[in-house]
Structure 1
């Protein structure tokens, strides 16, 4: 069953220096026509896959969904409501920039069923924000979150980043302190990964990007886990923390390796055993749909071995880990038969633990997650 929907809005008023997602500057783009094209893609997909749909989550990402005007957002929500069955919908999230969330936009979102906000804060140090290419200030964050609460939003998450250029431990601790003072239900915190085709990558190749070393980055991660735990914000995934019952349902679909639909230029999806990626360039994406074609750029039929690999390296991201009985029911073979050697190695190193019928990373293992995940990839 297809349980999730991801909708990509590829427009930004400012391009962040670390971002490698499919995006373009908002100015002079066919934004209104793109929204209508999104509707056509949703219509085509739903008509073909209606019997497979049990939609529990919708996620608007980008780019920046809040780059759209209130009027444009309203039109987008009309199309979503028209084409996406919502009988089983539990969570409807949008990403947002603090300096773009106006009162009018928040009201439109609330009136159209958005019940979770994911706000890109990244840091409470304004020098670092400038270095990242962010345009908001701390005051934007405080004002926006209070405005959202006043309108009736309760499920609010913010994104933070560490391991940033020139970032010190003191700056990271100050960001965490200010973030936790907001007393939100959910926090995501990611270490910087320098990706190709970004401003940071270009600076790095020229030797002009000074990053904290691996040891300091690991210390920042440990401080993150300790501070969240001290405030009752439970870690449920390598980079995500929440109060009880407020895990991201949409992201859990990814980690549980569940099928989801992806709509929009450059969006990715996983349906009927096939992972697919849409055409990235906006005009080519729109032209494909207007010609009556699905705007798919590439597809990959996931093999049985790959499904097992994904079950392990996605599931191990969760603190709760991977259930051995579920694995055997799903694939007809025990986890030990396939991964006994890798499991033994990591158990002996203290990076994986087996509790009852569940395999999970230990706290030590969370520091070297990527290394562990590699060991579950079959030749």
Structure 2
């Protein structure tokens, strides 16, 4: 796997140099100059730890959670006040962990962000199914949350047991969602679990929309080396057949596809913190992406709080991009939406997409991965699957390695990928 990703990296960046992350950061972050900037806040607390989840999380304690959020608000003001004027941003997303465990303090965090930013496209927040009740939903709505994403994973008893999850009270969930409406109600599912069939996934999708969802996300199971999950990954051929079948089903139902894994039943229903040209992250493990650099905060909650208390930022690692590296990053995550617009690329980088990657685009068209129309390159079903397939290599070669190290070291000296 590392051979494939290394070879691809060298070809696309036109250099043998690896991606090098160093223990350094700029004290003044260049977010004011960024267009299409999104915000992200990480809340790492969970009532119980799912063994398949790779994200930065710790077991919930009210005392630690409050101390963490005090530090988080300090970080927001410290970074936000670096520029005098309020910066216009696209959106704000809360991830975790289980952000809804801090429902009583979400408004404080949003208010702190509103001191420095103007959020134009709404606020999204992730919930565990146990959090979906009228009291929590109303607190979130009062805080300004407009979109919610519920981590269902599966409604099927078999897969809930495989994933170590308990049965969901769908009647109570439907009642709560009807009582407190949001612009977007997204439900997340995992596909490519062992033995999972088209009918299993179809049943999950139908149930989601019947309970009040207007958006779904179907994420592939990825077997990270540092998780304790005993679940085996589905073979490639079966995975492709399953993804193609469920994509055909959703499109046949009239749902619109907004990314590789997401479908919506209403045109304005959307939930994605990933497809942004630039973003600014707050909290432990949060990342920030600017025109010339990418940085990631420490994964360790205590180290995060200590860094903020000391008057510093909690940045653990930073990479300074070459122009080609930044182009690859932009293309990789923009393609997550299943389409890349050549005009957007040229606006961002000041150079035509075909001039930089014309040969690669020609190959992709010849292989049946993409179609081109009026400067927009759109993935075919085949292209979408192979994007997923390559992302799996990328995740295991790069993210798995980096997160595995950062879970053990709060501030590693350097990581080369």
TM-score class normalised by the smaller sequence: 0.7 to 0.9
Which residue, out of 232, 242, 246, partners 2:268? 246
- Post-superposition shift, 1:45? 0.7
Q: Distance in 1 between the 2:297 and 2:244 partners? A: 37
Aligned residue for 2:59?
A: 25
- The structure showing larger relative contact order (alpha-carbon pairs under 8 Å, at least 6 residues apart) is 2
CA distance in 1, matches of 2:68, 2:348: 39
1:232 aligns with one of 246, 254, 262: 254
Distance 1:51 1:75 in 2: 25
- SS of 2:186's equivalent? strand
Q: 1:50 to 1:260 in 2, by over 3 A?
A: farther
**Where does the alignment leave 5 or more consecutive residues of structure 1 unmatched?**
204-208
How far residue 265 of structure 1 moved from its aligned partner, in angstroms, is 1.1
CA shift digits 1:325-360 (9 cap, x unpaired): 332333233222221221111111111111111112
Q: 1:326 to 1:5 in 2, by over 3 A?
A: closer
User: Is the Cα–Cα contact under 8 Å of residues 11 and 65 in structure 1 kept in the other structure?
Assistant: yes
Q: Which residue does 2:27 correspond to in 1?
A: none
Deviations 1:8-46 (A, max 9, x none): 111111111211111111147611111111100000010
Quick one: distance in 2 between partners of 1:172 and 1:326?
A: 35
Matches within 5 A, 1:328-343: 328-343=346-361
User: Following the alignment from structure 1 to structure 2, what is the Cα–Cα distance between the partners of residues 250 and 229?
Assistant: 19
Question: TM-score, structure 1 length as denominator?
Answer: 0.87
Is 1:326 aligned to residue 326 of structure 2? no
Could you tell me how far apart the structure 2 residues matched to 1:49 and 1:133 are? 45
Say which of 374, 379, 383 aligns to 1:356: 374
Q: Structure 2 unaligned runs (5+)?
A: 1-33, 395-417
For residue 387 of structure 2, the aligned residue among 346, 369, 378 is 369
User: What is the alpha-carbon distance in structure 2 between the residues aligned to residue 142 and residue 223 of structure 1?
Assistant: 29
Alpha-carbon distance change, 76 to 50 in structure 1, aligned in 2, over 3 angstroms = farther
Q: TM-score, normalised by structure 2?
A: 0.80
Aligned counterparts of 2:58 and 2:120: Cα–Cα separation in 1: 30
Could you list the structure 1 runs, at least 4 aligned residues long, displaced by more than 4 angstroms after superposition. 370-375
Matches within 5 A, 1:167-178: 167-178=196-207
- Count the aligned residue pairs: 358
Pick from 87, 91, 95: which aligns with 1:61?
Answer: 95
Retained in 1: the 8 A contact 2:258–2:270?
no
Aligned to 1:81: 111
